[in-house]
Every structure is written in C-alpha cells, then in structure tokens.
Amino acid sequence: MKKFTNIIALLLIISTYSEWIEVIKEHEGFRKEVYEDIFGNKTQFYGHLIKEGEYFVEKTRKKGEQVLDDDFNGSIRLITNLYPEMSEQQILPLAHFVFAKGIGSYTKSKLKIAIDNKESDKKIFKEWIEWGVVGGKISHKSMYNRVLEYTTFINARANQIQNLNGGNKDK
C-alpha cells in the first residue's frame, strides 16, 4: 500500500513540458540505431517512429532529444487543435498519450469519446486504463504511464472546473 501511495503522490506533480519529456525518455530509453518496437514498427532514439525514407546521419543523444521535442510538440499541436479550451495541464497528459499510442489510436478510441462527451471521471478512468494492456497482458510500464496521464488530466480538469465556478467546489 505504501508503494501505491508514493506513486499517487508522485503522479500529482507531473505538470510541465520538461517533466513529460523526462517521462518519455525514461520509458522509451535512448537507442541510436533503428529497432523494431513491440508492434514491429521501425523506431529510433526515444520512441520515434521512422517514416518512409527517413534516415538520420547524426545519431547522438542531442539529435534524439531534438527529434523527441519535434514529435512531442506535434502531439501537443494535435491535442490543442482538438481541445482549444483545455488547460496546458490537461493537454500535456493527452499529448503524452498520443505520443505513446498514436493519434490514429486516440481519434478512434472510446477514451476520446468519453472526453468529448465530458463523461464522469470513473468512465474516463476505465477507458484510459484499458490502454495499459499490451498484447493482451498488463504492461507495468504502460499502465504506469496511463495512470500518470489520467491522474494529471483529471486533477487539471477538476482545477479548471473549480476555477470556472469561482473557486467554490460546491457550485
């Protein structure tokens, strides 16, 4: 129980762009050579999916960080375009989800429908957590990231609702 409590405490403080970048770097790890991810996609650096004909001459951590910034900023732009009313603290965890699972997966997901319809926290949690299963099995790394995203998103959503109500939780 103590480990779970420590994880929840940690989750509530992930709120900045640089913290999300560190989460990605820790989860993905750096690989300078092209490799296949668990789905057979050609990947390099910090989880960058190689596009048709794409090749990097420079294979340094610095280049990997530049590519990661470009990829994550692309995810942020996509989520910002879908949800211009959301706060940065809501956009960042969704952008992390899109980085990890792909925009196509998100746009077709029950999670997107639940968020679009402003469903209950419980319903959003159910849909979000289902993405912690990889290949029919719970992936601890993936589940950790889904819980991290969900907790940060819901906390920011609650703060935004509270602010809209003039700071009064009871409205």
- Give 51-70 pLDDT, tens digit per residue: 999 999 999 999 999 999 99
Q: How many helices (H) and strands (E) does the chain have?
A: 8, 5
Task: Round to whole Å and give the CA distance between 48 and 159.
Answer: 33
Predicted local confidence at residue 171, as pLDDT: 44
Predicted local confidence at residue 15, as pLDDT: 75
Cα–chain-centroid distance for residue 4?
20
Predicted local confidence at residue 137, as pLDDT: 85
For the chain, residues with pLDDT lower than 70 are 1-14, 160-171
pTM above 0.75, yes or no: yes
For the domain with range 2-164, which CATH number is right: 2.40.50.140, 1.50.10.20, 1.10.530.40, 3.40.640.10? 1.10.530.40
Contact between 83 and 106 under an 8 Å Cβ cutoff? The reply is: no
Q: For the chain, give every domain's residue range.
A: 2-164
Predicted local confidence at residue 134, as pLDDT: 78
Predicted local confidence at residue 5, as pLDDT: 46
The first and second tokens of residue 116, run together, are 């679009």
Say which amino acid occupies 143: M
